[in-house]
Chain A
Amino acid sequence: MKAWINQHRRAIGVTAAQAWRSPFSHLFQVLVIGVAILLPLLLHLAVQNLQRLGGNLPADARIALYLAGDATGKDADQIAARLKAHPTVAGHRFVSREEAIKDLRRIHEIADLVDALPKNPLPDAFIVRARSSAPDDLEALRREAAKWPKVALAQLDAAWAARLDAGLDLARALAAGLAALLAGALLAIAFNTIGLQVVNRREEIEVCRLIGATHGFIRRPFLYAGLLQGAVGGAIACGLAALCVEWVNRQLPGLAALYETNIVLLPLAWQDVISVTCFAGLLGWLGAWLAVSRHLWRGGPA
């Protein structure tokens, strides 16, 4: 146990000394990794914020409730009361049949057609705004409202919500794909940079093996180097992402004013920072392991 601790202490010392000896080349390697991780991270942030902002934008998904032809003003009042009390309804507007036909008449091409009708065919209606724009929530609300008395038809104006959702799904898939691709790239970067270190220290490795070093002993400093390189790269990516969010937030007020809302992008959650750093470290470690192992397996019994 004590020997094990001594060996690790030494490996960390060797790794630190290596980084200290050529700080700039290490810095740039780490920056390359940071930028590589930054891309999928930004996409992830964009998806997250879009999803969140989707619920805040004024153009919420709507449900139209068309009342039965024989519904009276009292029925309409009852439905209005139900909507007011409903937890998932953000707001509602009553559109009377008279208002509806007036709106219709305003469209020039069909004004004559509307005038030619013997009587107003349109029903009274409620335009309901839901709190959530998730398709499932909207559909649940629609189905519930359709069962209310004197509601002839509940129609979901979900195209917009569905489109946003599909768009977000695509972006999410894209982020995942990009993340996988760059995980591969990260592995390759670690494999190459650590592989180069292995080649540079080939003689040292050979001597160590000749005097009784196990594969584990030879790998250890390189594994620490890969781990450190990946983790620092991941941390840099998180830092850069935070800077990007901050920068966008400074530009946002102009755009937000147009939409009459207050939009602020949320930065990365600290859980994300930790998992990105750990994952990048793990990939660096794995790349280093592969690089050293390839060298050791080639080496023969010595």
Chain B
Amino acid sequence: MILLDKVGKRYPAGPGNDGHEALKSITLAIDSGEFAVVTGRSGAGKSTLLKLVAGIELPTSGTVRVNGQDLAGSRRALPFMRRKIGLIFQDHKLLYDRSVFDNVQLPLDITGFPPKEAARRVRAALDKVGLLSRERELPVTLSGGEQQRLCIARAIVHRPSLLLADEPTANLDMDYAQDIVDILRSFHQVGVTVVVSTHDLVSLRMARPRVIALSRGMLASEHPE
């Protein structure tokens, strides 16, 4: 499903810094249906790895293939590849001037889903993360954990085959973090490929994931937990 071949990413030097090599020649394969956790200290390259898989950044060397497609291949194809991926962000990236419902509906709007069918799917997604009763509210009225769950609802409403979550539990206390992990596990159990980056493996142990450890931009170790 995901193939990284000798992937390197170097951020260009700017004023005040002389560039930074975030990833060095990573070769890695993640199969369909896997639950993988990318871990390592901050600055090890976890977020960069996820950004490369999502096509948010392009590698400076090597190739990234998702579903057999080279992400560097075509900018035109990129939006359509993104639609097969669900993205969960550490900072949620919600639209704060729109209701909970409208936030989740956004990916369906983008694909031009018929409104009635879209509404049904939005409610199903909100139900899955336990926010159905709050669909009319604005995201600011939600707690941090609820906002993260809203972000997950938006990531899964279009039923992607791949879920990428960048530090989804970073700012949450243990109970909330466990909620998030449980939700991610439930998607893994129905066949969705899940890739999570985290510096905190503890809350993810229960999921028995494959652990990909990064250190200074290189693969440090790889082992099933």
State the A residues within 8 Å of B (CB).
Answer: 2-7, 10, 203-204, 206-215, 217, 301-302
Min CB gap A156→B, angstroms: 67
Chain B 96-116 against A: per-residue CB contact (8 Å), 1 yes, 0 no? 000000000011011111110
**Nearest A residue to B105, CB-CB:** A10
Known contacts being A207-B95, A302-B57, is A7 close to B109, with CB within 8 Å?
yes
A4 proximity list for chain B (CB < 8 A): 112
Can you list 16 contacts pairing A with B, beta carbon distance less than 8 Å? A2-B112, A3-B112, A4-B112, A6-B112, A7-B109, A7-B112, A10-B109, A10-B112, A203-B95, A211-B110, A212-B80, A212-B85, A212-B107, A212-B110, A217-B79, A302-B55
**Nearest A residue to B72, CB-CB:** A301
B106 near A208 with CB under 8 A, answer yes
A211 proximity list for chain B (CB < 8 A): 82-83, 87, 106-107, 110, 154-155
- In the bound complex, CA of A192 to CA of B154 (Å): 32
B136 CB within 8 Å of chain A:
no
Q: Which residue of A5, A206, A215, A301 is within 8 Å of B93 (Cβ)?
A: A206
A206 proximity list for chain B (CB < 8 A): 93
Known contacts being A6-B113, A204-B95, A209-B79, is A302 close to B106, with CB within 8 Å?
no
Chain B 109-127 against A: per-residue CB contact (8 Å), 1 yes, 0 no? 1111111000000000000
- Among B85, B106, B109, find the residue whose CB has the most chain A CB atoms closer than 10 A: B109
A10 proximity list for chain B (CB < 8 A): 109, 112
State the B residues within 8 Å of A (CB).
Answer: 54-58, 75, 78-83, 85, 87, 89, 93-95, 106-107, 109-115, 154-155
For the complex of A and B, the 4 pairs showing the least CB-CB separation, nearest first, are A3-B112, A212-B82, A212-B83, A7-B112
Min CB gap B115→A, angstroms: 7
A2 proximity list for chain B (CB < 8 A): 112, 114
- In the bound complex, CA of A194 to CA of B65 (Å): 37
- In the bound complex, CA of A2 to CA of B113 (Å): 8
Min CB gap B183→A, angstroms: 18
- In the bound complex, CA of A7 to CA of B118 (Å): 13
- In the bound complex, CA of A302 to CA of B113 (Å): 23
B110 proximity list for chain A (CB < 8 A): 7, 208, 211-214, 217
- Among A7, A212, A302, find the residue whose CB has the most chain B CB atoms closer than 10 A: A212
**Nearest B residue to A210, CB-CB:** B87
Majority DSSP secondary structure for residues of A touching B: helix
B93 proximity list for chain A (CB < 8 A): 203, 206-207, 210
A210 proximity list for chain B (CB < 8 A): 54, 56, 82, 87, 89, 93
**Nearest B residue to A209, CB-CB:** B79
Min CB gap A295→B, angstroms: 15
- In the bound complex, CA of A214 to CA of B111 (Å): 9
Given A4-B112, A210-B87, 5 extra CB contacts under 8 A: A2-B114, A204-B95, A209-B79, A211-B107, A301-B56
- Among B80, B89, B93, find the residue whose CB has the most chain A CB atoms closer than 10 A: B93
A6 near B114 with CB under 8 A, answer yes
A207 near B78 with CB under 8 A, answer no
Min CB gap A72→B, angstroms: 90
Known contacts being A212-B80, A214-B79, is A301 close to B57, with CB within 8 Å?
yes
**Nearest A residue to B103, CB-CB:** A207
Min CB gap A18→B, angstroms: 11
A3 near B79 with CB under 8 A, answer no
**Nearest A residue to B83, CB-CB:** A212
- In the bound complex, CA of A217 to CA of B58 (Å): 22
A3 near B111 with CB under 8 A, answer yes
Min CB gap B83→A, angstroms: 4
- In the bound complex, CA of A204 to CA of B110 (Å): 12
A213 proximity list for chain B (CB < 8 A): 79, 110
A214 proximity list for chain B (CB < 8 A): 79-80, 110
- In the bound complex, CA of A6 to CA of B112 (Å): 5
